[in-house]
Amino acid sequence: MPDSATVALMALSWILQDQALADRLLALTGMSPDILRAGLGERGTQAAVLEFLAGNDADMLAAADGLGITPEAIVSARDELSGRRYEA
């Protein structure tokens, strides 16, 4: 499985293929295209991209399918990038 940063960048690439989805990402995150571009290497920006996908089951399932990963990989990467820790 790719590392969390790679999952986030793959997810962003997938999102940007759909203009309506890309517009929704910007609207819901409050980021401009310039801020998104400048923050690509930052954990917070990467986590925000994955949080956006995780917030909509249909989008997350479609992205996971399109990227050849599991939805759990998206959630796990989001949790790692955002610093979330869960005890089992």
pLDDT digits (tens, 9 = 90+) for 43-54: 999 999 999 999
Per-domain residue ranges of the chain: 4-82
Distance, CA of 75 to CA of 50 (rounded, Å): 7
Which of the four pLDDT bands, split at 50, 70 and 90, describes residue 84? confident
Neighbours of 33 (CB within 10 A): 10
For 8, 20, 28, 78, 88, the CA distances from 4, given in Å and listed in that order, are 6, 25, 21, 7, 20
Mean pLDDT of 3-15: 97
Model-wide pTM > 0.85: yes
Which of the four pLDDT bands, split at 50, 70 and 90, describes residue 60? very high
Q: Is the pLDDT of residue 87 over 60?
A: no
